[in-house]
Amino acid sequence: MKNKKLLFASLFIISILFINRTYAQHKLYGMTFLGGTNDDGVLFEYDPVTSTYTKKLDFDSASSSIGGCPGGSLMQASNNKLYGMAALGGTNGGNAGVLFEYNSDTDTYTKKFDFDSIDAQGCCPSGCIPVGSLIQALNNKLYGMTTYGGTNGYGVLFEYDITNNTYTKKLDFDSINTGAYSYGNLMQASNGKLYGMTTYGGANDDGVLFEYDITNNIFTKKLDFVENNTGSWPNGSLIQVNGKLYGMTYAGGANGVGVLFEYDPNTNTYIKKFDFDYTNTGDFPEGSLLQASNNKLYGMTTQGGTNNDGVLFEYDLGTDTYTKKLDFDSASTGKYPRGSLMQTPDGKLYGMTTQGGTNNNGTFFKYDITTNTYTKILNFDGTNGRNPQFTALIEVDTGSYIQNLFANNEIKVYPNPGKDKINVIFNSDNKQETYFEIFSLSGNKIVSYKLKQGKNIFSAKNLSQGIYSYKIIVNKNTIASDKLVIIK
């Protein structure tokens, strides 16, 4: 443990003169649902500095050691390895799925767990066919859901301990009381509890929003979705902004094609913020929202817009204003985006479409929120993957990010590992507002502090032991980011 602390300290205490802009060792990783050598999907790497796309792995549902058709996203755990799930394949049969680990340093894939095979009665007690993604909670364990299986056949919520490779089913979804068939992910809010949604089930079979307390294993249904009122059939996940949760539903609302909503876990209050409406705003969103560095939300709809191929949009929580930023148009930009966006420290958004592009197998693109510029990076062609869905890219951090926005910046974040307080020294010729923000490893913003020139002291008493990331943001631009270790 002592050596690990020394390693973290040496990696994360920063005192740098910003002379050149660097984007050190930050690469993007993602997956496609189909394509590759076996047409069971691929795992790929993208280097934004060299604009190089590299296929790293061909999934294979016929192989007992790999699995196939990954529908969710990868995540980077505290051991720096990537974890994900494939919906099919594994030892227990073609319709079960696997949980896997990928070491990006050694390009090594390891299957960690086989979900149950489906028997003649259609049962798989431990869960099967996982479509969503994993998260790492602050207790360092991974949590996820399966879309099917469990005692009732409606999916399960589970825990996976990466230290001893132990899988534990925590909850069987039962449709009416707890919801059914989840396609999204869990998220851990600032109160330490997990929140998620199921696509179906609940009192109206329109899905539920729920809370799960990992300290006492108590599940609480917080909201039954109602088609015309709250929206229905949420396929994505929740995010937290300033203590409140935000999400979207695939259908329902005033126009029957989905809503954007806010949920306050402190007051158990639901507010519908926006109704999607076909041509003007897009319809049927299936992914999740993203809070960008400008504090605005970004997302995509599967259909609608001028070409009925989906849209990319912005939502300003400060003014409750929706703005359509891009109409997808099939061959040029791709169509039917069924996933979510992510943002790199340079402010660019990255995403994928399920179809469209030159080969109608989907596209991989970036979008600049400053200039409103769309750039297609890649047309999926089958060999390099095709039809990514229910997924997003992730950024794998193997070094610190530094950007030369100002000539004379000095930043020091210490102690790291920290315990009760974090010191941030910020000396710069910058006269603009600057913020120090802390995020969970799953990307949820936990706290934001305004920096002053010189030494800043922030309390870390409310942070649980674990690994976080931080960003230093000037005028909505990230000028530095790295990991932050808290020990108790």
pLDDT for res 400: 54
Q: Which residue has the tokens 């108590």?
A: 218
Any idea which residue has 């090594």 for tokens? 108
Chain region(s) in the chain for CATH 2.120.10.80: 24-397
Question: Strand 75-76 and strand 394-397: pairing?
Answer: unpaired
Query: For the chain, what is the mean pLDDT?
Result: 88
Distant-in-sequence contacts of 58-64, Cβ < 8 A, 24+ apart: 59/31, 59/86, 59/89, 60/89, 61/86, 61/88, 61/89, 61/94, 62/38, 62/89, 62/94, 63/89, 64/89, 64/90, 64/91
Strand partners, 168: 159
**Residue 415 contacts residue 364 (beta carbons within 8 Å):** no
Q: Is 302 exposed, middle or buried (0-12, 13-18, 19+ CB in 10 A)?
A: buried
Per DSSP, what are the bridge partners of residue 425?
412, 455
Q: Which residues contact 69 (CB under 8 A, 6 or more apart)?
A: 33, 34, 40, 41, 59, 61, 86, 87, 88, 89
| pTM assigned to the model | 0.83
Which CATH number does the domain 402-486 belong to among 2.70.160.11, 2.60.40.1930, 2.80.10.50, 3.40.50.720?
Answer: 2.60.40.1930
CATH number for the domain running over 24-397: 2.120.10.80
Which parts of the chain sit beneath pLDDT 70?
1-25, 92-94, 117-122, 397-409, 430, 441-444, 488
| Residue 345 backbone dihedrals phi, psi, to 5 degrees | -60, -20
3-state secondary structure of 417: coil
Residues 434 and 138: their CA atoms lie apart, in Å, by 27
pLDDT, tens digit (0-9, with 9 covering 90-100), for 309-355: 999 999 999 999 999 999 999 999 999 999 999 988 778 999 999 99
Q: Report pLDDT for 93.
A: 56
pLDDT digits (tens, 9 = 90+) for 79-114: 889 999 999 998 865 578 999 999 998 999 999 999
Per residue in 33-49, pLDDT (tens digit) is 999 999 999 999 999 98
List every span in the chain annotated with CATH 2.60.40.1930: 402-486
Q: In what order do the strands lie in the sheet with 348-352?
A: 342-343, 348-352, 363-368, 373-379
Both tokens assigned to 99: 């949980």
Q: Given this model, what pLDDT does residue 163 score?
A: 93
Judged by DSSP in three states, 54 sits in strand
Q: What is the pLDDT of residue 208?
A: 98
Residue in 230, 224, 273 with CA at minimum distance from that of residue 250: 230
